[in-house]
Structure 1
Amino acid sequence: MLLEGKTSVIYGGGGSIGGAVARAFAREGAKVFLAGRTEARLDKVAAEIRAGGGVAQTEEVDALDERAVDEHADAVAAAAGGIDIVFNLISHGDVQGTPLAEMALEDFERPIRTAVRTMFLTSRAAARHMIKQGSGVIMAFGGYGDPMPGYYLGGLQVAFQAVEALRRSLACELGPHGIRVVTLQTAGVPESIQESFAGRAAITQAIERRTMLNRAATLEDVGNVAVFAASGWAAAVTATAINITCGAQVD
């Protein structure tokens, strides 16, 4: 197993993407600590992991609360003997469908503030423990990329770009301590859109049309690539984004 003996912390672990990553990590032998604001969703993912023979613990944590994040990371490190992997997958509260020229400042700012604040807090909390052990992997999600014409993404893509700037700085400063920082870059994961959302099919088709493979990344794709990025097989990979856009973005 690629992550046997590793301790991972997933913020937003009760969400569709966070849950997929958590299940993939557990499948490969990692102990999974799920953090988020909705206990029922965390417990559901944890129960699925345990049913499959994996190890999972949950904790209600607001990943925008500095004290809560620090205390949780300290508790995980104390219980598990360290933190090997941290992945922040909380939602950013973005508003889509409104042109920027008509968008309220608060709606534009929210995803940018949320994404940068939570990425900084969770990365810093984990890094303090990773530095002591001389190793670790910090992961981000989203990546750079062009906005989709006609879909009015608001501050979402700006937020992803800001996180990428932070990822570069983290990779530079933490690299000498043996800590890798990697982004999983997608062009959208349609499976993460609620089935009840009326525009789900249209968005899926729009994403697929932009790809070279005529399909979008799946939740399983995200989990599998996350395992690779967090494992020793990717020991030389840092300060970069792993492109899982199915060819929608060309490097």
Structure 2
Amino acid sequence: MTLLAGKNAIVYGAAGRIGTAVATAFAAEGARVFLAGRTRARLDEVADRIRAAGGLAETAEVDALDERSVDEHAAAVGPIDVSFNLIGHGDVQGTPLVDMTLADYERPVVTAVRTQFLTARAAARRMIADGRPGAILFFGGAGDPVREFAVGGLQVAFHALEAMRRQLAAELGPHGIRTVTLRTGGIPETLPADFAARAEIEQSIAGKTMLGRAATLADVGATAAFVASDRAAAMTAATVNISCGALVD
């Protein structure tokens, strides 16, 4: 039996590399996936591939930073079992903090907190109203300072999201709603092909792991599907480490 049979899952940022991997894995495990994002054409391409493989997928243009857009889409979806926000945060990397503008530094923090609050709230409200236990997933996780590369406000954004996730876990637990973060330590497949430091970053990520390789998009999708399923029903207020041993808890 598939892990997510009969479940409805919203994936925000589903046209991105990670979003596509997660949506595809959810559909392969039997979920009806609702692909949300700002570019309908790219979402439709992902949906077509999912349907061609026998999965169920629907698409919608949703601005995950806009309260009305998020709430109206969640209401239109109907019952919600899983929500995973994977939109980009607009972070600027490669510039030391002392050389960075305030706007570039704070953008990922403000963006991450705003969008995750809106989408998590929308899902939780629906789950509570329907008396339907569910899972709200986060991506990133708090981590140690990065010395090798200038990552701007990205780590600050991840720490802020972890604070939100912990509070949501405490408040939503009595309703049977779980919140879990996935941490990877870096996924080389998500780096632009023409990124100047790509090879260096790939080697750095793999070199820190215990398995001699970095996490893949397939790893993220498979793990997300398990965490979202009833087999992980006892898992909340938790961080799932899928870093191949790069991150030691």
TM band (smaller chain): over 0.9
- Out of 95, 110, 116, the residue aligned to residue 107 of structure 2 is 110
Q: 1:99: how far off?
A: 0.6
The letter of the residue matching 1:104 is T
- Out of 182, 187, 190, the residue aligned to residue 188 of structure 2 is 190
Deviations 1:148-168 (A, max 9, x none): 313100000110010000000
Structure 2 unaligned residues grouped into runs of 5+: none
SS at match of 2:11: strand
- Out of 126, 129, 140, the residue aligned to residue 129 of structure 1 is 126
- Out of 206, 209, 227, the residue aligned to residue 207 of structure 2 is 209
- Distance in 2 (CA, whole Å) between partners of 1:216 and 1:150 is 17
Structure 1 unaligned residues grouped into runs of 5+: none
The alignment of Structure 1 onto Structure 2 pairs a total of residues equal to 247
Aligned to 1:143: 141
The letter of the residue matching 1:216 is A
SS at match of 1:242: strand
Aligned to 1:55: 56
- Distance in 2 (CA, whole Å) between partners of 1:59 and 1:214 is 39
Q: How does 1:5-154 map to 2 (within 5 A)?
A: 5-77=6-78, 82-132=79-129, 133-154=131-152
C-alpha RMSD of matched pairs (Å)? 0.8
TM-score when normalising by structure 2: 0.97
8 Å CA contact retained: 1:180, 1:237: yes
Instruction: Write out the 4+ residue segments of structure 1 that deviate beyond 3 Å after TM superposition.
Output: none
Q: 1:249: how far off?
A: 1.1
8 Å CA contact retained: 2:81, 2:132: no
Aligned to 1:164: 162
Aligned to 2:5: 4
- Distance in 2 (CA, whole Å) between partners of 1:227 and 1:209 is 27
8 Å CA contact retained: 1:147, 1:153: no
- Distance in 1 (CA, whole Å) between partners of 2:213 and 2:36 is 31
Q: 1:145: how far off?
A: 1.1
SS at match of 1:25: helix
Q: 1:94: how far off?
A: 0.2
- Distance in 1 (CA, whole Å) between partners of 2:244 and 2:63 is 33
SS at match of 1:137: strand
Instruction: Indicate the larger mover: 44-53 or 198-207.
Output: 198-207
Q: 1:224: how far off?
A: 0.4
